[in-house]
Amino acid sequence: MQPRPVVAEGRPVMRFRSLAVLVVGAVLAVGCGKDPVGTSSSVGINLKSKASDINSGTIEQDKSITSESSNPYGAFVNDARAKLDGHDPSRITVSSLTLLLGAQSSGVTTLEQVFSGKVEVLFVMNDTNHSFPVGSIQAPTGSGPVPLTVTFDSDSMGTDDRAKLLNGSFKTVIRGPATAGFSSNSSAVADLQLTFVFEAFE
């Protein structure tokens, strides 16, 4: 004889189990299926550092996200708004971030000659000075570009800071411990190039 399915309140439990799997699958599909409405072109930020800029053994440089030629970040936000009929995107993420030691550097040829430990990139909002981690890399080597581990998501921001993010009212900051050789070389210049790719969601 074939075994009979367990019955609960007159209905086979197997039928309920199948229905539950279908419902959970549908919920996951809805939650994970959103594609970005816009992806930026590469947004490059150049930050130069030299020995005289080092404070307590730490390199820290900042620059406005809108400072580069043609303001690709602003173009990205405007394009996302156009695709959303003038509405702001509800969420912005960083999908990739790389660090390169640029050709305009002098006295150093590799990142390990500049940084001796963990390098972090942050966004610091104008006026509020609230900072948000964007990405990091432990002791980068070579000239790059090297990829950073990205952690930024605008869902972690309050309303005021999110508005500043959309308006480009923030600075990109790079910081990390300087090597002894870079700190003592008064003629050395590190041309640090960060390249972001942003995504916007409805």
pTM (2 d.p.): 0.80
Q: In 3D, which of 74, 70, 62, 96 has the Cα closest to residue 192? A: 62
My answer on whether 114 and 20 are in the same domain is: no
My answer on whether 24 and 118 are in the same domain is: no
Q: What pLDDT shows up at residue 58?
A: 97
My answer on whether 67 and 130 are in the same domain is: yes
The tally of domains found in the chain comes to: 2
Rama region for 67: left / alpha / beta (φ>0; ψ in -120 to 50; rest): alpha
**185 is written with which tokens?**
């070389």
Q: What pLDDT shows up at residue 46?
A: 95
My answer on whether 171 and 97 are in the same domain is: yes
My answer on whether 123 and 87 are in the same domain is: yes
Q: What pLDDT shows up at residue 8?
A: 45
My answer on whether 28 and 99 are in the same domain is: no
1-26 pLDDT, tens digit each: 455 544 444 444 444 444 344 433 43
My answer on whether 97 and 12 are in the same domain is: no
My answer on whether 132 and 150 are in the same domain is: yes
Instruction: Please state, rounded to an integer, the average pLDDT across all residues of the chain.
Output: 87
Q: What pLDDT shows up at residue 4?
A: 52
22-53 pLDDT, tens digit each: 433 433 333 444 788 889 989 999 999 999 99
64-102 pLDDT, tens digit each: 999 988 899 999 999 999 999 999 999 999 999 999 999
Q: What are phi and psi of 90, to 5 degrees?
A: -80, -15
126-177 pLDDT, tens digit each: 999 999 999 999 999 999 999 999 999 999 999 999 999 999 999 999 999 9
Domain that holds residue 110: 36-201
**In contact, 133 and 122? CB cutoff 8 Å:** yes
My answer on whether 116 and 180 are in the same domain is: yes
My answer on whether 25 and 66 are in the same domain is: no
My answer on whether 5 and 46 are in the same domain is: no
Q: Give all strands of the β-sheet with 170-177 in edge-to-edge order.
A: 58-64, 170-177, 118-125, 131-138, 149-150
